[in-house]
Structures are given as structure tokens and as C-alpha cells.
Structure 1
Amino acid sequence: MSHTVVEVQNLSVAYHDEMALQQVSFTVTNQTLVGIIGPNGAGKSTLIKAIMGLVPSLTGKVTIFNQPVSKVRKRIAYVPQRNTIDQDFPVLVEDVVLMGRYPHLKWWQRPTAKDRQIAEQCLEQVGMLNLRKRQIGELSGGQQQRVFLARALAQEADLFFLDEPFAGIDITSEQIIINLLRTLREKGKTLFVVHHDLSKVEEYFDQIVLLNKQLIGYGAKEEVFQLDLISKAYNGQVALVGKRDSALVVSG
């Protein structure tokens, strides 16, 4: 049974007097894998940060599970862009994943044996258990991204935001991550993924938020991933090498 998870109404965000998002509105239900696509500078990362309340909004209202974000923060997991992480910070893989348990602990509590067990299970899910004693900075980009996803899994959230999780990673890591996202969706979770590779959009997502500071389109991938809307979002700068079964094949 579907129910509303995220409702965004007339959301606008500005940085230094320049509009980053303008009057964006849409509603997402549970058990949905949503791709957020658009050109560089379209406001994709800003959108998920604004939904989570990590950046202030000029106008608009966001509700998650029909409540203000502040009331449901424990139910939200966030995987930021990998390049925002300090690669030199001396922390072990298993400790990174254990951080996902902190929202469930009081400020004076230390992680329990159960918390450590959950963290191990999450590392196993992403195929990284054998590297749990490694420093995070020693891992490849794909391995790091799998660890950050394991941290999100350890939080046992219902709503996931991932910012460019497939950027600069190996194909094995990409397959592990997309399969996990699909599994989470089948368990009733809702997932937002900022994504830049248009050739994978139809394969990966159920619904699409197509942005260029304004909402160009939102809905089922079959409706939104169309030449006219994509061209509008990318100001006509999209090279299309063919159209098969209504799928847009994009290069460049």
C-alpha cells in the first residue's frame, strides 16, 4: 500500500542572491527509486540538502512522513558526494559504518555488541567485511562508496538520499550499489539518487526529477525521460545517438 513519504511545495533556495532552485514542487510515495537528473549547476545536490533541512530555503514547505524534517531525522540516511569526505582522516572502515548507529544512541551511550553486529552485517551486504580493519583512505573510490552506503544501511532508515553515488567508481561497486538500492526499494524504502549518467536512467530508476533550477519534469521515467524535456533541461546540449523503444540513448 503506497503512502506519501516526501512532499515538496514551492521550494526555492538562493546562494549569495543567486537562485539555485525556484518554486519546486512534487510528491513521492514509498517503495520508489527516484533519480534526480539535470545539467551541472541545476541544483540537484541543493534539492536534497534543502529537503533534509541542511541548507535554508527562501520559500516553500517540506514534509517527510507528513511531519517536519526535524521530527523524523532518525528515519533519514544521507550519503554525500565522496569528494566531500576527508580522505586523510584516520578512521577504520568498521568505525565509519558504526557511525550509522549513533542516531539510535543517547549522547552518553557507547555502541553495544548489537550495534557492532548490525554494522558487520551491513559491511557484509556491500562486500566489504574483509576490509573492515582498513583505513578508509586506503580504499579505492568504489570501495569507499560501498562503505558509506553500509553506514547508511546501519542507520536502518526508511528514506535515503544519495548524492552522485556512482561517480568515479568501478563497475563492480556500481552493480553492488544499484542491486542494494533495488533491494531496499522492495523492502518499502524510498530512495533519492542524484545521478549524471543519462544512459543508465531508464535502467536504474522508477521516477525522475528533471531539474534545471526549476522543475522541468517529474513522474514515471517513461513520461519524463523524453527528448523534448531532456533537451529543455540541458538547453539543447544533449547528443542523442538513437531512440529505441522510447529509451533515449545518450552520449557525451
Structure 2
Amino acid sequence: MKKLLYILIALLVVSAAQAQDNPIREANEFYQKGEYEKAIKSYEFVLETHIEAPEIYFNLANSYYKTGEIAPAILNYERAKLLSPEDEDIQYNLKMAQAHVLDKLEVLPELFVKRWVSGIRNAVSADLWSYLSIGLFFLCLLFACFYLYSNKVGLKKLGFFFAGVCLLLSVLSYSFASIKTDEITNREYAIIFSPSVTIKGSPDVSGTELFLLHEGTKVKVTEQLGDWLNIQLSDGNKGWLKKEDVEMI
């Protein structure tokens, strides 16, 4: 009886996996055939089932790019980059799409140390930082054993030193993983989807008009007030726009 139950459970798991895989396979087939409109619908359907992967966002972005829809292409390249920040193809195609955006914004200079740390943190995914943190913690325990149980003074010193280094690196890796996870779950950047939008000085239709932005521009959302969002650009400029004018990354 138990064997029959295990077989039924296994069949259910396999059938569920196949049902999940079929829409992705269908979307990939449309994409490979160059039927990009059908690929877009299929990939969007897959994402509606809460299945996420950088490859899905990447192919969806490419499909949008091929059909001339720049803003959705940039949006999905950015989503793919969040999940796979080290992927060079995603970075290259994102730059290609951003070249079509009308707004050319300057980026405020930041401290070398901050830029260097951000570069290291963004080099790999949150999962990899998590695995690295766990591995370093086990190494810390191993070296701690050398310190506690070795009869040789030299091994004790080496054990103490490397245990401290591994613990420090483990905590640092964990903090990087936490920051990367927070970036994915609490997304604060958005892409302008309206052809053009006037940024206001206050969250009101009658507010002072500050400047104009066009579709495809990336903005940071710093505050929400009703249907209005307070946004900040890479050049430091701030203002308000309607929530309907953007799509969160």
C-alpha cells in the first residue's frame, strides 16, 4: 500500500513538472521561430503563474525589443539583471535598448570605495552570496577546532587567525546576500511607460511643471502618496508623477 502511495505521489510530481514546463517550451519555440508576438504572450503567461527565471525575462525582453517596444524591453532586461547580475548578454542587450531612450541623464559621481563595494556585491547573485556565507562559516568552525584542540602553538595561532578571517568574510557575504535579496523583494526602481510625462513639483495635477521624461527612462521611487510617486533620477533631480505612468522593475 505504501509503495502504491509513493508511486502516485511521484506521478503527481512529474505531471506537475511537465505541466509547468510545457508553457515555457511553447514560448521558447515561438521565440526561436521568430514569432515574437506569440512569444511575448506565452512568456507573460508563464510569469503570471509566478515562475521567474532570468532566461524567461531575457527572452521576453528580446521579443519586445524585436517588435520595437523599447520600454517593456528595458523593464524585462532590468528584471533579468536583478536575478542574474553577472550575465554579460543581459548587460549588453540592456545597453542596446537604453540607447533608444530619449532622456540621456548624467550619473552623479560616487565615492570610489562605495562604487568598488557595489561592484563586488553586484558581481554575483544573492543565492551565490548565501552559499558562500555558509561555506565560509563551516571553514570558520573547522579552523576554530584547530585552535581549540591542537597541541601545537603554531596551529593554534593559524586556527585562530583563519577562523576570524572566515567569520568576517562569512558575515560580509551574508550582508551582501541580504542586500541583494532586499533589492529583489522590495523593488524601488521603475521604468517610465508613458510616451512622455511631465514631472511635477508636488503630488497634484496643478503642481509646478519641473521637467519632461520619456518612455524607457529608469527612475528610483522614494515615496508614494495616493496615486502619486516621488521619483529621483540618476542625476539627482526629483519630482512627482502619477503611478500609472511607470512600471516597477
Name the TM tier (shorter chain): under 0.3
> So what's the TM-score if we normalise by structure 2?
0.27
The answer to which structure has the higher helix fraction is 2
Bigger radius of gyration among the two: 2
Whose strand proportion is higher, 1 or 2? 1
Structure number with greater CO (CA < 8 Å, separation at least 6) is: 1
Alignment TM-score, normalising by the size of structure 1:
0.27
